[in-house]
């Protein structure tokens, strides 16, 4: 399974990377072309570096609080709704549907899954996830591509064994609204509304925190 990640930003701040063989770029159309080509030959895991789910809660005073495990040990919680997270989330609401819609045109028989415990194995199968590595690369011209490369590396480490895949179930909030799934439905990859509550894998860099849970903005 090849692994690709998009570091989401404005049109001038996009960076993506894919492994085996390694490639990277700075435009969404390049990404779509490479991922579509890879899907024609085997499964692909595609991650987006922005919040891809929000919690569903009963307490109105906690609606914008940090998601489960959002901050690591010793860190002040910085939830998805904070400045950096909310900005990336809003941008992803247009970037993700664009990517999925274009991929759908090139891979009309493709299938999407969120089940990281059973990685896809056939051509046309696409595993979607959320990545977080923001701010860890230098501030040079390649920083967005470097963040994407780091996320690819982190995903591969997280999925290296069946026991590791099982332990990463801790990344998921117990009750969520899956924004990735909303994009999947809107772009015609599926009509299964149950996907809107499907757990969404979050893979974050080991350098960000010692805790493997959630996302900190």
Other residues' Cβ atoms within 10 Å of the Cβ of residue 186: 12
73: pLDDT strictly greater than 60: no
135: pLDDT strictly greater than 60: no
3-state secondary structure of 214: coil
Residue with tokens 């959630």: 214
Q: Which pLDDT score, from 0 to 100, does residue 14 have?
A: 92
Q: Where is 177: in which H helix or E strand?
A: strand 176-178
What are the φ and ψ backbone dihedral angles of 175, each rounded to 5 degrees? -140, 110
Among residues 12, 15, 2, which one has the least CA distance to residue 136?
15
Q: Where is 2: in which H helix or E strand?
A: strand 2-7
216: pLDDT strictly greater than 60: no
Question: If pLDDT is split at 50, 70 and 90, which confidence band does 77 have?
Answer: low
Distance CA 42, CA 36 (A): 10
Question: If pLDDT is split at 50, 70 and 90, which confidence band does 86 have?
Answer: confident
> CA dist 10 to 2, 22, 26, 71, 201, Å?
25, 24, 11, 25, 24
Determine how β-strand 15-18 pairs with β-strand 2-7: antiparallel
Question: If pLDDT is split at 50, 70 and 90, which confidence band does 138 have?
Answer: low
Distance CA 113, CA 216 (A): 24
Question: If pLDDT is split at 50, 70 and 90, which confidence band does 66 have?
Answer: confident
177 forms beta bridges with 54
Contacts for 163 with CB less than 8 Å, ≥ 6 apart? none
Contacts for 68 with CB less than 8 Å, ≥ 6 apart? 55, 172, 173, 174, 213, 214
> Tokens standing for 141?
């011209």
152: pLDDT strictly greater than 80: yes
Full 3-state SS string of 47-67: EECCCCEEECCCCHHHCCCCC
Model pLDDT for residues 179-192, shown as the tens digit of each residue: 999 999 999 999 99
114: pLDDT strictly greater than 60: yes
């Amino acid at each position: 399974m090849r692994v690709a990640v998009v570091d989401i930003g404005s049109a001038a701040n996009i960076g993506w990377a894919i492994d085996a063989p390694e490639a990277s770029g700075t435009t969404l159309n390049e990404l779509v072309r490479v991922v579509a080509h890879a899907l024609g030959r085997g499964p692909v895991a595609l991650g987006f570096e922005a919040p891809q789910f929000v919690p569903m809660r009963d307490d109105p005073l906690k609606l914008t609080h940090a998601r489960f495990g959002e901050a690591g040990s010793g860190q002040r919680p910085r939830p998805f709704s904070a400045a950096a997270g909310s900005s990336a989330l809003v941008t992803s609401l247009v970037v993700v549907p664009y990517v999925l819609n274009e991929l759908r045109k090139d891979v009309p028989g493709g299938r999407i899954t969120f089940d990281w415990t059973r990685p896809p194995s056939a051509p046309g199968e696409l595993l979607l996830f959320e990545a977080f590595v923001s701010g860890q690369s230098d501030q040079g011209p390649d920083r967005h591509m470097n963040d994407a490369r780091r996320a690819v590396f982190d995903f591969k480490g997280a999925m290296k064994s069946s026991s590791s895949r099982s332990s990463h179930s801790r990344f998921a909030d117990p009750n969520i609204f899956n924004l990735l799934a909303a994009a999947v439905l809107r772009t015609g990859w599926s009509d299964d509304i149950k996907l809107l509550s499907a757990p969404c894998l979050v893979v974050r860099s080991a350098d960000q925190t010692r805790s493997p849970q959630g996302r900190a903005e």
